[in-house]
Structure 1
Amino acid sequence: MTLLLEFDEFRGLPFERFMEELDKILIISIDKLRYSMDLRRRVMMYPIFEKVIQYRKVELLTPEEQMEQDPQIEQTF
């Protein structure tokens, strides 16, 4: 899968499929960045990547699963 996707490739996709495609792009991009950076930069960027991935992961979990992952998360409804 190329990172240079045209907008037309996303047209008509259901929301879940669209988010899966964006996740693939995110993972591929992070992987390519990891190989192109020296160790010092990777160490500095790791917390940012971790937060982005964790945000996407939490967004996909149910509220109960979120509480199991991090009991400090307050549920707001």
Structure 2
Amino acid sequence: MNIVEHLKAKGAFLEVLDRHSCRRERQLGGIEAAKKRGVYKGRPENVELKNKIRELRATGLSLSKCAAAQCSISTVQRALKD
């Protein structure tokens, strides 16, 4: 790849990066505005899953066995931390 092709590719990459950051800023601004209006609350907590994880863990199952059926180990760890 010669220098001209390299610079064109770099320019295209920077343009995409700039568009992405502008889109992300607009998205965050919209989320903040919606939160102020009280219409954006985020994803609801899965209480049933948390309770099931706690019950399985109380029976002596390992983290990976608690997670095997429905979720990841990190979800199990978060459920137990709360």
Normalising by the smaller structure, the TM-score range is: 0.3 to 0.5
- TM normalised by structure 1 equals 0.36
Greater helix percent: which structure? 2
Larger Rg: 2
- TM normalised by structure 2 equals 0.34
